[in-house]
Structure 1
Amino acid sequence: MWQGWSVTAEHQRLSDSADSRAAWRRWGPYVSARQWGTVREDYSADGDAWAYLPFEHSHLRAYRWGEDGLAGLCDVDGYLNLGLALWNGRDDRLKERIFGLTNPQGNHGEDAKEYWWALDGTPTHSYASWLYRYPQAAYPYEELVRVNGRRGHGEEEYELADTGILDQDRFFDVTVTHAKASPGDVCVEITATNHGPDPAPLHLLPQVWFRNTWSWGLDDRRPQLWLDEGDAGAGPVRVLARHHELGSLQVVAEDSPVRPRVLFCDNETNLATLYGEGAVPEDYTAYPVDAVDRAVVHGQADACDPRQRGTKMAFWWHVEQVAPGESVTVRLRLTELQGRPDPETPLSEVVARRKQEAVEFYADVLPEGTSEEDALIARRAFAGLQWGKQLYLYDVPRWLAGDPAQPAPPRSRLDGRNKHWQHLNLAEVISMPDEWEYPWFATWDLAFHCVPLAHVDPWFAKWQLLLMCREWAMHPNGQLAAYEWNFSDVNPPVHPWAAWQVYAIDGNQDRDFLQRIVIKMLLNFPWWVNRKDPEGSNIFEGGFLGMDNVGLFDRSEPLPDGQRLEQSDATAWMGMFCLRMLRMAIELAREDPAWDEVATKFLVHFLAIAQAMEDVGSGHVSLWDAEDEFFHDVLVDENGHTFPLPVRSMVGLLPLTGVAMVPNWVAYELPDLTDFFDGWTSRRPELADALLHTNRRGHSLRTLSMVDRGQWRATVRRLLDEGEFLSPHGIRSLSAAHRDGITVSVHGRDMSLKYVPGESDSGMFGGNSNWRGPVWFPVNALLVDALRNYGRAAGAGETVEMPTGSGRQLTVTEVADEIEDRLVGMFRPGPDGRRPATPRHHPSGELWDAHPTFSEYFHGDTGAGLGASHQTGWTALVAHFICSPDGIPNR
C-alpha cells in the first residue's frame, strides 16, 4: 500500500487496518457534533425535523439513532461514548454540544454559532486533537436566535463574536487530545487555558454514556456503569462498565488537579419535564439524561443516582478560579479489560509518543520541500477529515414503521420522506461533509472527500466509495443515495472521477477496487440514461444537480406540462462519467481482455454525447451559443421551441471537464477499442478533429474532448477573465459579468439572477446555499484536473492568456498550477497575518489567525469563508493540491 514510502509507526498501523472493524479503527472520534434536528430523529407527521427534536430538547431526550457531543469518542458501533461537558458558572445549561440556528431560524439557513478547530488527527485515530473556544460569560442563546430572526437574506449573519462576549479574549481554549496506547487503550487529555484578563471559574465534566439501545422494544439488555467498590477515596477514580457486545471496560480519571466527584444517571428521556408527571411509567428511572445538568448547573443535590451506577456518568472537576494565562489539565483513560492487565505506560508518555508519530507520518505524506505554512494547512485539512468521520445509523424501514415500545409514527410518514428507499440500512463510520451543519453523508460530497483521504488512508477512501454502491445503500434501480433529507434527489455522478483519482493516488495498483467500482457504475449508468435522457437525444436533464440556486429558477422543481430543461451541466457530467469509465475499463483490459468491450461501450456513449454537444445533424438542442461563445441550459417547450438561458455560470464551464487522454499503449494492447477508433474515424472524418484531438498529426496519443478546439479556447478565455470567472482565489461559480443582474423573459415570465459574491440574497433552498458567485472547491478541483489532462496531451505546448487581456501567456499546465496556487493561497496568511479564507466574523489576532478555517465555499471577490464553517470534507481538497502539486501521476 505504501510502496516507495518510509514505513512510519502510523503506516504500519494502517497496513494492519484494511477492514472497517480492524482493531486500530475500533475507537475513534465517531460521535456526531449534532444529532438533534436530523431526519433520523424525526418522527413527526409533517417531516419538520428541526421542530420535532430542537436544540432545547437535546439535553432532555435519549436519541434513537446516534449521539452527539464535544470532541466525542466512541467505539465503531457507537455503544459507549465519551464526550466533554463544560460549565463556566454562568450558563443556564451545561455546554455538552455545539449550538447553532436551525434552517428556519437563520437568515441564511442553518448555522453553527460556536468556534472550534480540528488540530490534528491520524487515520487510525492513534492520535487526535481538537480545540473548542468556550466563553467565560453566559452564552447568549436567546440573543443569537432573536437578532438573526430579524435579519433578511440580504444582511450578514449575527455571529457569536458580534455579541461582544469574546472581547478582551474572555474565553477558555479547551483542547481535547486522544492518544491510543493500544487499540483498546485510549488516553484522553483535556487542557483548558484562560486567555482572559481576569481569573474565571471552570467546571470540566467529561462524560461517559451508553447509547440507548434498550428503550425501543427490540433489545432489552441494559449495559451498566458503576463506581469501582474498591475505590478507597484516594488516588485515581475508577468507573467500570459492562456491555453485552463490548464486554468489560474501565474509565480511570487521574486525581489532578483535584480528585473529581462522580455523578451517575441514565441515558433516558426526561419524560416528566417534557410531557408532565402523568407521562412517566411506574418503573421509569428517577435519574434521566439531564440529571448531571440539574446537579451541576441548578444545584439539585438529589438529581443523580446515590447508588453511583447507571448508563451515563460524569467526572466533575471544579476549579474555582483559573488565573489569566493559567492552564488546567485533567486526564482519563478508557481501557478494554478482556484479559488485559492495567495499562503500564504512563498516559502522558502515550500522548507524547503518538504526537511525535503523527509528525513523522505527515512528514512522509507531504512532498519534500513543502513549506511550513502549507504543511500546517494540509495537516489541519486532514485533521478535519478524521474528525469528520461519524457513525451513521439509519434503518429506513424500521424508521418508517417505528419501534415496538414507542408510539406508532403517524401514517403520513409511510407516504413521506424516503419511502422508496426501504432497502437502505446503514450502520457504518462514514465521512461527513461537515461536523455540525451536515452531520449526514451526501454521496457526491463523499466522493470529493475520498480524494484527499487517499493521500493518508487509501483503504478508507476506497471503502467509502464502495460503501455507497453496496446493496444496502445503492437503490435496486441503480441510483446512488443523495442525502437523508431526500435520498431520491439527483446529485452529479462524480463517483467514477473520484474512483480514478483514488486509484491513481494509491499507485495504480488496486485492480480489485477498480473492477468493483466499474461493475457498480455499470448499474448506475443506465439509471441516468433511462431517467435523465427521456428523449434519447444524449442531452441530459437532472434537476438542480447539487448546484442549488445557480440558475434563474429552482431546477429541482417540476416544469409546466410539456416543458423540459436540457442541461449543459447534466450533459457534461455524463460525458465525464463516460470518459472515466472508459479510462478505468482500459486499465482493467490490460489484464483481462473482456474489459476491452466495456471500454468500447463507453467510448460509443461518449462520442454520442460529444456529438450532441457539437450539434451535429438535426433533431436535438444545441447547448453551445455561437454568438455568446458559451454553453447554456436550454428550455424546450411542448412545441419543441427552444429558449437558451443566457446565464454564464459553472453550468457552462463544466463541459471542459469532459476530457481524457488515451494512452499510447492502447493502440497495440486493446485491439477491439483500436479497431473501433479506426473504423469510426474513417466513417466520420468530419468529426475526428472536433472530438479526437491530437497534439501533432499522426501522433498516436489522442485526447477525447466534449468541446472542439474553438469552443475550448473561447470557454477558457471566459474562465480566465478576471471580469468573469477568475477571482484572486479560484474560479467563481457565476460570472462577475452579471454583477448588475440579468433578466430573461420566457413565455411572458421574467426571471432574474445576479452575481452575488457572498451569502445568498435569495430564499431558494432555504437561503442556505449560494452558487451565484462564490468559489467552491469541488468544481474547481474538476476544472484543474481537466486543464491538466488537456495540457498533457492535445494542449501540450499550447499557451493561453492568463488573465484574459493581460498579454501574459502560460501553458495550459501552468494555468492549472496558478489556479491551484490561488486556491491554496486563500489559507495562507496575508501581510497582516490574517488568512483570506477566514470568515468575516472571526476576530483578528494571534489567537485567531493561527487557525485555518475550512468553509463550505468562499467569497468570490475576497475569498472569505462562507456557509458551513467546518466543511473539511470537499474543502479538504486543498490538502490534495498541496500533496499533488503537479497533479496525480500515471494518468
Structure 2
Amino acid sequence: MTPDQQRPTSAEHDRLATSEDPRAPWRRWGPYVSARQWGTVREDYSADGDAWTHFPFDHAHLRAYRWGEDGIAGLSDVDGHLNVAVAMWNGRDDRLKERYFGLTNPQGNHGEDVKEYWWHLEGLPTHSYASTLYRYPQAAYPYEELLRVNAERGVEDPEHELADTGVLDEGRFFDVVVTHAKAAPGDVVVEVTATNHGPESAPLHLLPQVWFRNTWSWGLDDRRPALWRDDAAANDEDGTVVVRAEHHDLGSVTVRAEGAPRTLFCENDTNAAALHGQDAVPPGHTAYPKDAVGRAVVHGQDDACNPEQRGTKMAFWWSFDEVAPGQSVTVRLRLTEGRGPGSDAPGDEEVVALRRQEADRFYAAVLPEGTDAEDALVARRAFAGLQWCKQLYLYDVTRWLQGDPGQPPPPPERAERAGRNTSWQHVNLAEVISMPDEWEYPWFATWDLAFHCVAYAHVDPFFAKWQLLLMCREWSMHPNGQLPAYEWNFSDVNPPVHPWAAWQVYCIDGSRDRVFLERVVLKMLLNFPWWVNRKDADGSHVFEGGFLGLDNIGLFDRSDPLPDGQRLEQADATAWMGLFCLKMLRMSMELAREDPAWDEVATKFLVHFLSIAQAMDDIGRGHARLWDEEDDFFHDILTTEDGEVHRMPVRSMVGLLPLAGVAIVPNWVLDELPDLTEFFAGWTRRRPELRDALLHTNHDGYALRTLSMVDRRQWRAVAARMLDEAEFLSPGGLRSLSAAHRDGVQVQIGGSDLSLAYVPGESDSRMFGGNSNWRGPVWLPVNALLTDALRTYGRGAGAGRPVEYPTGSGEELPIDEVAARIEQRLVGLFRPGVDGRRPSTPVHHPSGPLWDSHPTFSEYFDGDSGVGLGASHQTGWTALVAHFICAPDGIANR
C-alpha cells in the first residue's frame, strides 16, 4: 500500500482504528491463554534447569502454575486474571481432557512433539471473532502407548502418532469447534459445538471452565478473588445459570450459561496431598484443590468439589449420554464485564452470526481482488493461527531466580552466574506476545517474531509494529544492546532480522508511520554496536555468531565454544550484518527526507556495509576468503591458532544468505541527501576498482544504484546453484542444504572426523534436541528473505538481465519473476493436489474430506516431498504464506 492509497474498510477495520493501544478495549479479551504452561522455563525451579522434568504433564492438573495458565481454546483478559477454556470427557479417559498432551524433548524420538489434532479456523485481530477445531477421540486417550512406543524408537524411525494408535479409525472422534464472538469489548459469547463423526452413538461431557490465575500463593499478594453461583439471578424457564466473578484489579464479571448445566467449584491451588502425601499438606490448605473438577467428573468423587458453590475455579457441566452419528450438540457461555448484558443486547446466536459475516468482509478487503478460493482459505487460516498463537507472557527474571517468599527457597545453583538467564535480570515482561507455536514453542523467540510481524502487518499493522518495538524496550533488550533470543537461553544469538522486518512492516502499512521507523532505527543503533563489539573479534568485518537459529546446519554445533585460538568466520553471520546495515541505510534515507540529521546516519551505515562487503570478498584483509573460487560458493571458515585454515565444504543456506545483502538507493537521494551523495561520489573516486564489485547501476545507466554484498559473477554463480533442482530448488521452495550432498560430506579437523548429509525430512541428528532440521528441508522465513532479495536485485542492477530458471532448463526469466515463481512453489505446499491432499499435510494425518479440508502450518517442509515436519501449529513464521498471497509482487521494493 502506498501513502495515497485508502486503507481497506470493514467493521473490523473500524474497530482496529480505535485499538492502537495494546490495552485498548477491543483487545482486552482474547485467546491469550497458553496451550502449554507446564515444561516451560518459567515454571522450572530446579537446580539443573531440566524444565521438562521439573514440571511434567502429569503434574499439570495438580499443581498451580506460577507464571501463567494453559487450556484448550482459552480466553482471558489482557492481564490473565480470569481465564476460560474448554474441558471435555468421553466417559473412557482416565482424566479430564483439559489440555493438549505431548511428549517432552527427552521423550520424543524427534524432540518435543504434541500428540493431538487441532486447527485454527478463524481469527480477527481484535478477537471480536475467533474459532478453532479440536479433534477429540471417543476411545480412551492412549497416553501410555504414545509414551512407550516413542521411547522405543530412534532418530531414524518415524514418530508414533495419535492416528497410528487406531483410536481415530472410522471417524470415531468428536470435532469440537470453539468460537469466541464479542458483542462488545467486554461482552463475549463462547460457543462450543461438538459433532460425532463416528459410526455409533457416543457419550460426551462438555465442561467449559472458568478460573482465576493463582496470584495468592506466592507470599506477595494474599488477596484471593472469588467465583460463586448466583441463584438469585438464574432463570428457571430457560435453565440459565449465573456465576459471578470478583477480582481486585479486574473488577466484576458475570458468566451466564443456558441449558441448566451443573456447576462444580474448587480452588486453583496445588493438590499437595496428591503430589507429596497427606503429611506434606500445610495447615489451612484447601480441601478442594485444582484437580477437584476432574475427580468429580471422571472418578465420581461427589465430595471433591465445594458444596458451597464458590471458589477460584469452576466448571459448567453438560452431559450428553448419547450423541448420535452425525449429530451436533452446542453449549454456550456469555462472559460480560459487570452484571451481564443489557436487555437490548443481541442474543448469543445473533452475535456469532454477525461476527462471522464481518470476518468474511474483513478478509475480502485484505486479500487481493481475484484471490483464488483455496488461496484465500490458506491465508485466512494462517492469519487465524497468528491470532490464536498470541499469549500473555509473564516472566520477571529477578523474581524467578530469587524465588517467592511464600514458597521454599530455590536451589542456590539457580543464582550462580552460570545459571540460566542470570545476566538478564532486567527482563520483566507482562505482555501479550506472538508465539512461534501454540504448544511446542509457547514462548517468544525474537527472530521468529520478526517474521510473524511481516504477516501480521497485512491485518493488524499496529500489533506488528508494537511487537517489534516491544523486543527493543528496556525491559526486554539487554543494557548492552543484545536482543533476547528465547527463554531457554536469552543469550543465544539470533539473526538480526529486526531491521528487515521493520522495513517490510513500514511498507505494508503504507510507508506512512515515520514515528515507528524512527523508534526502530534508534533502538537498532543500540543493537548494532553489540554485534560489532561481540561478534567481530579482530575488527575484520567478518562476523561470528554461532547458532544463529540454523540449529544443525553445520558440520558441528556452531554454538559450542571453540578451543582457544580458534575462530569460526561465518558466511551467514557476515551476510546477516550486511543485511542489517542495508536496512538501516534504507530506513535512515527515508527518515532523512524530512529530517536532515538522519543523512549522516545513512552515511554511517553505508560505510559499515561497504566494509563488510569488501571483507566478504577478502579485499585487502589478509584472511581466508569466505568465497570459494573453485566451488563458486560461500562457506564458513575455521581458522586455528597456528593460522591453519579449514574451509567447511558445505553448500547450504549459509552460502545463499549473502544474496540477501542487497538494496536499491533511490534516484531522489541524489537531490535530497547531500551528505550521502557526497560520500558516494568521493568513495567511487577513491576506490574505482570496487565500483563494479559492490556498487552497481542498472543496465540502462540510470542514476539508480544497487548495493550488493556480492559481485555480478558471484551473484550469478550462487543463483545458478540456488535455482538448480538438483541442488536447492525443490518443488516446494528453496532447500536449506543442497541436495547434491545426498551422499554426504566428510571433513577431518584436528583429528576429528566430521560429516553431514542432505536429509530432506526429520533430523537424524540430536543436535539442538533433534526436533528441527536445517540439513535439507524448506523453511519459509529464509525463503522470504531470498525472494525479497531477488526482487530487489531484479528491480535494480538485475533489471533486463534474466536468469535461467530452473538452472539447466534453457528458459530465462526476469529476476523478479523468478522470485514470484519460487513463492508460488511455497504457496503450492498448501494447495490441494489432484487427490485433494495438500503436499504440506503431515504424513501421520489420515486422508479424507474431514482431514484434507484443513491446511496445516508446520515448522518446516520435506525438501523432496513438501510434507510438513516439526512443530505442527507454526503459524508464526510459516504464516508468511499469507504474506506471499497478499503481496504476490512484493511490497518493500515498490
CA distance 1:378–1:161, change in 2 (3 Å): same
* Deviation for aligned residue 1:135: 0.2
Matches within 5 A, 1:267-306: 267-306=268-307
Q: 2:129 aligns with which of 127, 130, 137?
A: 127
Partner of 2:73: helix, strand, or coil?
Answer: strand
* 1:14 matched to 2:13: no
Residues in 1 aligned to 2:343 and 2:587: alpha-carbon distance in whole angstroms: 51
Tell me the residue number matched to 1:319.
Answer: 320
Quick one: which amino acid aligns to residue 488 of structure 1?
S
Quick one: which amino acid aligns to residue 299 of structure 1?
G
* Deviation for aligned residue 1:641: 2.0
* Deviation for aligned residue 1:750: 1.2
Maintained 8 Å contact 1:508/1:890: no
Structure 1 residues 742-796: Cα deviation after superposition (integer angstroms, max 9, x where no partner): 1011222210000000000111111111000000000000000000000001001
Tell me the residue number matched to 2:244.
Answer: 240
Partner of 1:241: helix, strand, or coil?
Answer: strand
Residues in 2 aligned to 1:889 and 1:863: alpha-carbon distance in whole angstroms: 28
Tell me the residue number matched to 2:649.
Answer: 646
Residues in 1 aligned to 2:236 and 2:142: alpha-carbon distance in whole angstroms: 39
Tell me the residue number matched to 1:497.
Answer: 500
Tell me the residue number matched to 1:867.
Answer: 870
Q: Relative to structure 2, which stretch is displaced further, 831-840 or 795-804?
A: 795-804
Tell me the residue number matched to 2:835.
Answer: 832
Maintained 8 Å contact 2:122/2:380: yes
Question: What count of residue pairs does the alignment treat as equivalent?
Answer: 888
Quick one: which amino acid aligns to residue 694 of structure 2?
L
Structure 1 residues 444-463: Cα deviation after superposition (integer angstroms, max 9, x where no partner): 00000000000000000000
Structure 1 residues 560-581: Cα deviation after superposition (integer angstroms, max 9, x where no partner): 1110100000000000000000
Quick one: which amino acid aligns to residue 810 of structure 2?
G
* 1:423 matched to 2:426: yes
Residues in 2 aligned to 1:669 and 1:236: alpha-carbon distance in whole angstroms: 68
* 1:757 matched to 2:760: yes
Tell me the residue number matched to 1:547.
Answer: 550
Taking every aligned residue pair, what percent have the same amino acid on both sides? Answer: 76
* Deviation for aligned residue 1:268: 0.1
* Deviation for aligned residue 1:284: 1.1
Matches within 5 A, 1:21-60: 21-60=23-62
Partner of 1:71: helix, strand, or coil?
Answer: coil
Residues in 2 aligned to 1:304 and 1:413: alpha-carbon distance in whole angstroms: 37
Tell me the residue number matched to 1:592.
Answer: 595
Structure 1 residues 616-656: Cα deviation after superposition (integer angstroms, max 9, x where no partner): 12422310000000000000000222111110000000000
Partner of 1:130: helix, strand, or coil?
Answer: strand
Structure 1 residues 116-143: Cα deviation after superposition (integer angstroms, max 9, x where no partner): 0000000000000000000000000010
* Deviation for aligned residue 1:697: 6.4
Tell me the residue number matched to 1:693.
Answer: 696
Tell me the residue number matched to 1:376.
Answer: 377
Q: 1:716 aligns with which of 699, 716, 719?
A: 719
Q: 2:98 aligns with which of 92, 96, 99?
A: 96
Maintained 8 Å contact 1:216/1:405: yes
* Deviation for aligned residue 1:729: 0.3
Matches within 5 A, 1:399-798: 399-415=400-416, 416-696=419-699, 698-798=701-801
Residues in 1 aligned to 2:648 and 2:364: alpha-carbon distance in whole angstroms: 49
Tell me the residue number matched to 1:359.
Answer: 360
CA distance 1:187–1:53, change in 2 (3 Å): same
Partner of 1:248: helix, strand, or coil?
Answer: strand
Quick one: which amino acid aligns to residue 220 of structure 2?
L
Residues in 1 aligned to 2:627 and 2:405: alpha-carbon distance in whole angstroms: 57
Matches within 5 A, 1:207-246: 207-230=209-232, 231=234, 234=237, 235-246=239-250
Partner of 2:505: helix, strand, or coil?
Answer: helix
Residues in 1 aligned to 2:420 and 2:134: alpha-carbon distance in whole angstroms: 35
Residues in 2 aligned to 1:872 and 1:175: alpha-carbon distance in whole angstroms: 19
Matches within 5 A, 1:247-258: 247-255=251-259
Structure 1 residues 565-619: Cα deviation after superposition (integer angstroms, max 9, x where no partner): 0000000000000000000000000000000000000000000000011111242
Show structure 2 runs of 5+ residues with no match: none
Normalising by structure 2, report the TM-score: 0.99
* Deviation for aligned residue 1:233: 5.0
Residues in 1 aligned to 2:640 and 2:344: alpha-carbon distance in whole angstroms: 73
Tell me the residue number matched to 1:330.
Answer: 331
Partner of 1:652: helix, strand, or coil?
Answer: helix
**What do you get for the CA RMSD once the two structures are aligned?**
1.1
Quick one: which amino acid aligns to residue 722 of structure 1?
E
Partner of 1:394: helix, strand, or coil?
Answer: strand
CA distance 1:695–1:218, change in 2 (3 Å): same
* 1:141 matched to 2:158: no
Maintained 8 Å contact 1:266/1:311: yes
Maintained 8 Å contact 1:503/1:509: yes
Partner of 2:422: helix, strand, or coil?
Answer: coil
User: Structure 1 segments of 4 or more deviating over 6 A?
Assistant: none
Partner of 1:70: helix, strand, or coil?
Answer: coil
Structure 1 residues 784-827: Cα deviation after superposition (integer angstroms, max 9, x where no partner): 00000000010011111111111111110111010000000000
Residues in 2 aligned to 1:97 and 1:339: alpha-carbon distance in whole angstroms: 28
Tell me the residue number matched to 2:161.
Answer: 159
Maintained 8 Å contact 1:760/1:770: yes
Residues in 2 aligned to 1:340 and 1:878: alpha-carbon distance in whole angstroms: 39
Partner of 1:299: helix, strand, or coil?
Answer: coil
Maintained 8 Å contact 1:2/1:11: no
Tell me the residue number matched to 1:815.
Answer: 818
Maintained 8 Å contact 2:231/2:241: no
* Deviation for aligned residue 1:301: 0.6
Residues in 2 aligned to 1:287 and 1:339: alpha-carbon distance in whole angstroms: 28
Maintained 8 Å contact 1:35/1:67: yes
* Deviation for aligned residue 1:6: 3.7
Tell me the residue number matched to 2:394.
Answer: 393
Residues in 2 aligned to 1:714 and 1:734: alpha-carbon distance in whole angstroms: 16
Tell me the residue number matched to 2:264.
Answer: 263
Quick one: which amino acid aligns to residue 355 of structure 1?
R
Residues in 1 aligned to 2:652 and 2:845: alpha-carbon distance in whole angstroms: 30
Residues in 2 aligned to 1:68 and 1:696: alpha-carbon distance in whole angstroms: 58
Residues in 1 aligned to 2:146 and 2:501: alpha-carbon distance in whole angstroms: 39
Residues in 2 aligned to 1:813 and 1:326: alpha-carbon distance in whole angstroms: 51
Maintained 8 Å contact 1:247/1:338: no
* Deviation for aligned residue 1:890: 5.4
Residues in 1 aligned to 2:714 and 2:551: alpha-carbon distance in whole angstroms: 26
Quick one: which amino acid aligns to residue 236 of structure 1?
T
Tell me the residue number matched to 2:185.
Answer: 183
Maintained 8 Å contact 2:253/2:340: no
Maintained 8 Å contact 1:5/1:364: no
Residues in 1 aligned to 2:798 and 2:4: alpha-carbon distance in whole angstroms: 33
Structure 1 residues 509-548: Cα deviation after superposition (integer angstroms, max 9, x where no partner): 0000000000000000000000000110000000010001
Show structure 1 runs of 5+ residues with no match: none
Quick one: which amino acid aligns to residue 256 of structure 2?
V
Quick one: which amino acid aligns to residue 219 of structure 1?
D
Residues in 2 aligned to 1:297 and 1:481: alpha-carbon distance in whole angstroms: 43
Residues in 2 aligned to 1:540 and 1:313: alpha-carbon distance in whole angstroms: 55
Maintained 8 Å contact 1:198/1:323: yes
* Deviation for aligned residue 1:5: 3.1
